[in-house]
Amino acid sequence: MILLYLSKDIQLLQDEIRIIRRELHQIPELAFEEYKTAEYIKGYLNKLKLTYHDKIAGTGIIVLIQGTEGKKTIGFRADMDALTVEEENEVDYKSIHKGKMHACGHDGHQAILLGLAKYLVMNKEKLRDNVVLIFQPAEEGPGGALPIVSQGYLKKYSIDEIYGLHLFPEIPEGKMGVRQGPMMSQTGEFDITIHGKGGHGAMPHNTIDSVVVSAQLITGLQAIASRSINPIEPVVLTIGKVVAGEIRNVIASEARLEGTIRSFKQEVHDTVKERITDYVKGLENIHNCKITLEFRDMYPAVTNDSFLTSEFIQSQESSVIQIIDPIMLAEDFSYYQKEIPGVFFFLGSGSDHYYYPLHNSRFNYNEKILGYGVQAYLNILKQRDALEN
């Protein structure tokens, strides 16, 4: 059941926001390939007579909407990229790009931001402070936020604080999930290759069995979370891919493992990496083999500013706010938060009719919630005294 209040102006924009979403949904593009998406966004901004800076981090777009006073600048971000998923929804706005789909709601995020742009243009006399809209490529990876930050765009536009949202089917539609402090995990990846010595399965004494070593590695690494980390600190260490061998009676000379680390504190993340390294060195000595190990630090933890989160909660209707537990998903919005205060929140999209999870080939949602995303952003601006009621 949708409970959020919608202003009359947003009610009038609902159909337009829905059309934007559906048109974007039909043209999903992968990370740093969002060329048609960028052209669509620029076309809409041109209709609004808004100036913008394009080709940000390749395909991104930044829009500055100036207020009447401009005492501060508030940023809002939407991600642009889609996934390598073949859509199974039978709808008239189905993806026309084979093997690609907006299965994570980024079409909706962009529609919300364009709806916000339309409202602010229609009510420009009410806007006191500056607003910057960031259409960011490549959230799904390798990440478009970091190049935007590293190339100095937050400083160039003098952004003081920033907000972002994500559709979330685990929260009922019309509700919003948020929390102060760490909300989404830091994430990293690791690759392990075990270089053994292959041979006949009937003569294992003449080999170094990479599969046996990998089995010990898989089970042994799980003790890191349970024995090397304080049990009150959340941490996940998952090996999701193992590749070894081709024939049942041949001992594999090589095994490859790929895994992920999730935590909320840098010191926990560092400890896990140190213990993985120690364990790998120990197995090398025990089995007289060589093991190569490579780490890649990915996104930092999404950590919501305490004061701005309190402001956000006050800006919304109390009946729609859910204070959620931290989750082990990751988001590159965190790179903005490492530079300036910010709040990231979930906009509920779950219902009896729309229940498929994110990244599913049948993911969809009630498009009415997009208006509530715009309303949530407007409520933030009003709470921060950047927009008149």
Residue 109 assigned ligand-binding role = no
- Which residues are part of the catalytic machinery? 79, 140
Specify whether 286 is located in the same domain as 324: no
The answer on 89 and 208 residing in a single domain is no
Over 70: is that where the pLDDT of 184 sits? yes
Percent of the chain whose pLDDT exceeds 90: 97
pLDDT band at 5 (very low <50, low <70, confident <90, very high): confident
Asked whether residue 3 is domain-assigned, the answer is: no
Q: Is 166 one of the annotated binding-site residues? A: yes
| Domain assignment present for 388 | no
Give the residue from 279, 297, 315 where a domain finishes: 297
Report DSSP state, residue 359: T
Helix (H) or strand (E) holding 314: helix 306-315
Integer Cα distance of 43 and 138 in angstroms: 21
Q: How many domains does the chain have?
A: 2
Q: CATH number for the domain including 335?
A: 3.40.630.10
pTM of the predicted model over 0.75: yes
Tell me the average pLDDT of the chain. Answer: 97
List, for residues 29-63, the tens digit of each pLDDT value: 999 999 999 999 999 999 999 999 999 999 999 99
**Are 20 and 153 in a shared domain?**
yes
Q: Are residues 277 and 323 in the same domain?
A: no
Summarised one tens digit per residue, pLDDT across range 252-310 is 999 999 999 999 999 999 999 999 999 999 999 999 999 999 999 999 999 999 999 99
What are 77-94's pLDDT values in tens digits? Answer: 999 999 999 999 999 999
pLDDT at 350 over 60: yes
> Cα–Cα distance between 286 and 21 in angstroms, integer?
57
* Residue 287, domain extent: 186-297
CATH number of residue 240's parent domain: 3.30.70.360
Segment 203-216 mean pLDDT: 98
Annotated ligand binding at 97? The verdict is no
Q: Which residues contact 387 (CB under 8 A, 6 or more apart)?
A: 123, 126, 127, 128, 129, 378, 381
Residues 141, 280, single domain; the answer is no
Tell me: do 206 and 165 sit in the same domain: no
Q: Which of 242, 267, 297 is the last residue of a domain?
A: 297
Q: Tell me, what DSSP letter sits at residue 246?
A: S
Say if residue 233 is in the same domain as residue 118.
no
Determine the pLDDT at residue 4: 64
- Is 289 flagged in the annotation as binding? no
CA count, 13 A, side-chain hemisphere, 2? 14
359 in a labelled binding site: yes
Task: Fill in the amino acid letter for 264.
Answer: F
